[in-house]
Amino acid sequence: MPEFKIQHITRYTYDGLVRDSANQIILFPIVDVNQDVLKHDLTITGNPLVDTHVDYYGNEVGSFTYLEPHNRMVINSEVLVTTHHKELPTDLVPAQEQWQKLTSLQYIVPYIDFLKHEYFEALPELMGVINTEKQPNDTPYQTALRFCDYVFQNFTYLPGVTTVETTIDEVWPLKAGVCQDFAHILVLMLRLLNVPARYVSGYICPNHNGMRGEGATHAWAEAYLPDYGWLGIDPTNNCIANETHVRLAVGRNFSDCSPVKGVYKGSSGHLLEVKVSVEYKDQPSVTDNDNEDLPGNSFVQAVQAEEFSTNSYQRYKEAMLLQQQQQQQQ
C-alpha cells in the first residue's frame, strides 16, 4: 500500500496587470476503494474562496475568481495519497458472451458518452489496423491489452511535438506525441469496437523502473470490461495502470479533465509554468520560488500565448516537409 506525496504548482506570469481571473481546477484526486486522500493542502495567490462541486463524470471540481489586479498567480496543490492494488480480470466468461454484454451497453447511461468517437479523417486506415490487431477469440480484456501494445510499439514518445490542442488527425500521421496523445488514440480504438473507454488524468509515481512520465502529470485510458468494471491501461508505458498511478479525473477526453483552466481580463501575453513533484511521503516539499526548481522528478511547461502563431507540432511538421523537399532536390 504505497503512500505518495504529490506537489503540483501552476504559475502564471503576465506581461502587465490583469484582473477578474476566473478559473476552474481539477486538482482533487479521486477517492474510492483503490485510492485514499489522506491530506490535501491547496493555496492560491490572493486566497480566493474556492467553491467545489462534483461534475457529471464524478470529478471534484473547484472554481474561484481572483478579482484584484495582479501580474502573477500561483496555484499550489499538495496531496498525500495512498493507493491500493487492484486485482486484474480473470477472463473466465467466454469471449463471445463478453462482447454481447458490451453490445447491450450502447444505449445505457453512463456508457453512451464513452462510446462516442470524434470525427477522424483516417478512420478507414485505423479500422484496418483494428481488424488486423484484434484476434477472433480475444476477450475485451485481451483486445485492450493488444491495442495498448500497438500504440506503444508504433508511436514514438516525443515531448514537444504536440500540445493540448493537437487533434488525433494530427497525431496519427506523425506517429509521435506524449501520454495525452497515446491515451486519445487508445480510447478511440476501443470505442470503435464498442468497448466503453474514458480518458484519465493524474500522476504516475516513481517505481524506479524508468517509466515514461514518472513524477509528472500523466494520462492514460480506462476500458470498461463486463463482469469486472473499469480497468486502467497505460499505452505510454504498455502496462496496466494500478497502484503506481494516481487518478485526478476521468472524462471523454482531455478537455473534461484539464487540471487548470481559466480566463482573465488584461494583457494577452503570459507565461505558464507547471511544476510537479511526485515523491514518497518522507521526502521534503518545497515552496514556490521564481529561481527554484522542484527536486526529483518534475517538468516545466512554458507557453508564450500571444507569440505562438504555430504550435510545436506545426513547426516540427514544417521542418520535416522542408527536409523532404531538400532530399528530393539532391
119-162, pLDDT tens digit by residue? 899 999 999 999 999 999 999 999 999 999 999 999 999 988 98
What pLDDT is attached to residue 180? 95
In the predicted structure, residue 234 carries a pLDDT above the cut 50: yes
pLDDT digits (tens, 9 = 90+) for 162-199: 888 899 999 999 999 999 999 999 999 999 999 999 99
* Domain identity same for 130 and 42: no
- 277: helix, coil or strand? strand
pLDDT score for 212 = 77
Give yes or no: residues 165 and 137 share one domain: yes
User: Is residue 326 in a domain?
Assistant: no
Q: Is the pLDDT of residue 327 over 60?
A: no
HEC profile of 126-161: HHHHHHHHCCCCCCHHHHHHHHHHHHHHHCEECCCC
pLDDT value, residue 255 = 93
Same structural domain for residues 174 and 291? no
pLDDT confidence of residue 217? 85
Q: Which residue has the cell 479525473?
A: 249
**DSSP code, position 254:** H
Task: Determine, yes or no, domain membership for 140.
Answer: yes
Global pTM reads 0.85
Q: For residues 216 and 21, which has the higher predicted lDDT (pLDDT)?
A: 21
**What mean pLDDT comes out for the span 253-275?**
90
- Domain assignment of residue 60, yes or no: yes
Task: Tell me the pLDDT tens digit for each residue of 39-72.
Answer: 999 999 999 999 999 999 999 999 999 999 999 9
The DSSP symbol for 112 reads G
Model confidence pLDDT, tens digit, residues 276-316: 988 876 655 555 544 344 433 333 333 323 333 333 444 44
- Domain that includes residue 285, residue range: 3-83+257-318
pLDDT the model gives residue 285: 52
User: In terms of domains, do 74 and 121 share one?
Assistant: no
Q: Which residues pair with 76 in a beta bridge?
A: 9, 43
Mapped onto helix, strand or coil, the DSSP state of residue 110 is coil
> Cα–Cα distance between 206 and 5 in angstroms, integer?
11
d(CA 183, CA 247): 14
Window from 57-61, 88-92, 218-222 with minimum mean pLDDT = 88-92
Q: In the predicted model, what is the mean pLDDT of the chain?
A: 85
Kindly state the greatest CA–CA separation across the chain: 63
Q: Is the pLDDT of residue 274 over 60?
A: yes
| Overall average pLDDT of the 204-209 stretch | 68
The DSSP element (H or E) to which 309 belongs, if any, is none
Task: Give yes or no: residues 123 and 238 share one domain.
Answer: yes
User: Which runs of consecutive H residues, i.e. helices, occur in 69-139?
Assistant: 95-103, 123-133
Measured CA distances, 6 to 26, 112, 125, 226, 254 (Å)? 14, 33, 40, 33, 21
Co-location of 247 and 134 in the same domain: yes
Q: How many domains, in total, are found in the chain?
A: 2
In a domain, 323, yes or no: no
Same domain, 117 and 228: yes
Residue 207: which pLDDT band, with cuts at 50, 70 and 90?
low
Q: Which residue has the cell 506503444?
A: 152
Residue 114: inside a domain: yes
Q: What is the pLDDT of residue 269?
A: 86
Half-sphere exposure of 225 (CA within 13 A, CB side): 24
One domain for residues 249 and 302: no
